[in-house]
Amino acid sequence: MNRRSLFSTTALTVVALTLLPFHTFGQQQSLKERLLGTWTLVSIDSVRQDGGRSPLFGADPKGLAMFDDQGHYVISVMRSDLPAFAVNDRMRGTADENKATSQGTITYFGTYSVNETDRAMLIHIDASSFPNWSGADQKRLITFTEDVLAIGDRRLKLTVPPAPVGGAAIEVLWRRAK
């Protein structure tokens, strides 16, 4: 091999290696390590068994999810089109204003653990704005993706499995906060 072809091969190798995602080098992170941090909501949809989708919190929902390394989390989701209260006092909302707020928001927090084999997160809900969830245990399936068009745009999809008979799955798509 002459000097010119050796240089070309070396240069091509360096370019190819720099284009590979960083996480391909070294040890792969665990699901829990990849989950840690703050995420912003992209979408939250009900997905029927026929594949049809319906947004649960409107076309442009807002939300935040935070997971710490001690196994604590907080999740808050709301519609972006919630109507303002006529009186600037949350304690004096009308029945319709309170209904819209109740149906257009969900916030809950507690502890979580990750099952690497099942690619699932098990959450314990300490408290929720929907009181029926307080004290409950729930399961979320975990999927990570990278947006190849936006370098470093990591996505997290948490899926609530459908009920055994005729239920819809809930898919919540998050983007790593910047």
Q: Which domains does the chain have, with CATH numbers?
A: 28-176 (2.40.128)
Query: What's the pLDDT at 4?
Result: 54
* pLDDT computed for residue 42 by the predictor: 96
Q: Which helix (H) or strand (E) holds 171?
A: strand 169-176
For the stretch 26-82, pLDDT in tens is 468 999 999 999 999 999 999 998 999 999 999 999 999 999 999 999 999 999 999
Cβ atoms of 49 and 162 within 8 Å: the answer is: yes
Computed from CA positions of residues 90, 95, 100, 101, in that sequence, does the dihedral angle turn out positive or negative? positive
pLDDT tens for residues 82-92? 999 999 999 99
**102-143 residue pLDDT tens:** 999 999 999 999 999 999 999 999 999 999 999 999 999 999
Distance CA 112, CA 67 (A): 8
Identify the pLDDT of residue 164. 76
Rounded to the nearest angstrom, the gap between the alpha carbon of residue 77 and the centroid of all alpha carbons in its chain is: 11
Q: Which residues pair with 176 in a beta bridge?
A: 39
Q: Give the integer Cα–Cα distance in Å for 176 and 145.
A: 11
Which whole number is the average pLDDT over 5-9?
Answer: 47
> What integer pLDDT is reported at residue 70 of this predicted model?
98
